[in-house]
């Protein structure tokens, strides 16, 4: 499971780079990836306590909230204002290719609510 977490982190960090290179008019961007996430809703009540203290549904909602926040930030960003900086914590995390389990804390604006409901999506 550790491998999947680090692969997911790498995917989403690279996704940020990919979004900036994607045609802004493409409403299909990430459609397949999001559909893949939504297929996992059947396991939403599952929990792997050796990996996390919250259930799969929480993680799915967190991923979707994070994607929305990244997309919003990229829409508002100005490439001319970019200032490159080194984040040693992230660099070490990617160098060791695994995330310490049960250590991460989601920031408030991407933290799912206590009660997560599933609504029909409009990706079909």
Task: Give the tokens for residue 91.
Answer: 């660099």
User: In the prediction, which pLDDT does 45 show?
Assistant: 81
Encoding tokens for residue 86?
A: 């080194």
Residue 33 in tokens: 């990836």
In the structure, what pLDDT confidence band is assigned to residue 118 with cuts at 50, 70 and 90? low
Residue 101: pLDDT band by 50, 70, 90 thresholds?
Answer: low
Q: Which residues of 37-70 are buried (b: 16+ CB within 10 A; e: fewer)?
A: beeeeeebeebeeeebebebbbbbbbbebbbeeb
Looking at residue 5, the DSSP 8-state letter turns out to be H
pLDDT for 96 equals 73
Token pair listed for 48 = 């792997």
pLDDT tens across 26-44, in order? 566 778 888 888 788 787 8
Helix (H, G, I), strand (E, B) or coil at 63: helix
């Amino acid at each position: 499971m550790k491998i999947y977490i680090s692969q997911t982190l790498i995917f989403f960090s690279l996704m940020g780079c990919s979004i900036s290179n994607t045609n802004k008019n493409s409403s299909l961007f990430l459609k397949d990836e999001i559909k893949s996430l939504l297929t996992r809703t059947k396991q939403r009540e599952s929990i792997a306590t050796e990996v996390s203290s919250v259930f799969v549904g929480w993680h799915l909602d967190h991923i979707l909230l994070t994607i929305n926040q990244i997309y919003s930030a990229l829409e508002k960003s100005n490439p001319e204002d970019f200032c490159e900086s080194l984040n040693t914590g992230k660099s070490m995390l990617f160098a060791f290719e695994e995330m310490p389990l049960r250590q991460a804390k989601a920031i408030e604006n991407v933290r799912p609510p206590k009660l997560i409901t599933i609504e029909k999506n409009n990706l079909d």
